[in-house]
Amino acid sequence: MFADLHLHTFFSDGTFTPEELVARASQLGFSAIALTDHDTLEGCDRAAAACVAARIEFIAGTELTAEHADIEVHILAYLVDTQNQVLLQRIAGFQAVRQRRIREMVGALNKLGLPLKAEAVFALANCQSPGRPHVARALVKEKLIGSLDEAFDKYLKKGRPAWVPKTKMSAMEAVELIHQAGGLAVMAHPGLNRSDEIIPDLVAAGLDGIECFHTKHSTTMAERYLEFAEKYHLLVTGGSDCHGFSKQKPLIGTVKLPYEHVQKLKDKVAERKR
Ligand SMILES: [Zn+2]
Ligand SMILES: [Zn+2]
């Protein structure tokens, strides 16, 4: 039995519907999956329903963008109460910030002579949590640019002329927010951050787990983070970070986390409730 605990749908920057994602998970033989769309819980109900039909265990989650010591860090939330009002309100705030950022990026593109409308981006995104990939896709769709890569390389990548910095909450705040919603806070893809020195601070803030297995982690990286997990008594998670057909072929299936780790997540939540 194995799981994928890091998946995106079109409720953030992925391309699959929740149903398409679950169908793929079912074909690949997954016993459990978690939905971790950026700054939203919007797709959880549909994914949960599809999982019931496919007899796959569903774990509600989200991936929050945070920062610590000026380093962007993604915090995965698992097993949260999806009706928690404080969490829902904060998420609505993050979504408003995302929408404002889209308008700023579109404004910068307009100044550069690309007549894109923010409404075209929102219509294409069709979700509460739009991001840069939606701007890139809209540019391609409107034939203002040749490819997604070109959109990022020329305009949207950090430091390029239409890039707009993100306003982020602190990682400490993210951990606290997840805990008050009854969930577990896990550091996503630490290998992509290359800033392991912040891990002890996150642990001190109450971090519950670390994503050791990830599509972009080498075997050496996975081993390194398994050592961190042992040293700091953190739970171990893993997932493909599949975004559907975004930039490459779907990644679901590249990471198969042994189910025992899912059980440990559930045990920890149950233990906290006692
Ligand atoms: Zn991430
Ligand atoms: Zn992700």
The dihedrals phi and psi of 236, each to the nearest 5 degrees, come to -105, 130
3-state secondary structure of 74: strand
What is d(CA 57, CA 79) in angstroms, rounded to the nearest whole number? Answer: 12
Ligand with minimal distance to 13 CA: 2
Average pLDDT of the chain is 96
pLDDT digits (tens, 9 = 90+) for 88-106: 999 999 999 999 999 999 9
Ligand with minimal distance to 38 CA: 2
Distance 37 CA to ligand 2 centre (A): 7
Confidence (pLDDT) at 273:
87
Confidence (pLDDT) at 200:
97
User: Which residues of the chain are under the pLDDT cut of 70?
Assistant: 247
Distance 274 CA to ligand 1 centre (A): 31
Distance 112 CA to ligand 2 centre (A): 30
Run of H or E residues at 48: helix 44-54
pTM metric for this prediction:
0.94
Distance 63 CA to ligand 1 centre (A): 7
Confidence (pLDDT) at 166:
86
Ligand with minimal distance to 35 CA: 2
What is d(CA 87, CA 84) in angstroms, rounded to the nearest whole number? Answer: 5
Distance 111 CA to ligand 1 centre (A): 30
Residues with CB under 5 A from ligand 2 (ion): 63, 241
Which domains occur in the chain, in start order? 2-90+167-273 (3.20.20.140), 91-156 (1.10.150)
* Among 134, 111, 109, 133, CA closest to 123: 134
Distance 111 CA to ligand 2 centre (A): 31
Confidence (pLDDT) at 209:
98
Distance 144 CA to ligand 1 centre (A): 28
Distance 54 CA to ligand 2 centre (A): 23
Distance 141 CA to ligand 2 centre (A): 24
pLDDT digits (tens, 9 = 90+) for 95-135: 999 999 999 999 999 999 999 999 999 999 999 999 999 99
Confidence (pLDDT) at 246:
72
Distance 93 CA to ligand 2 centre (A): 19
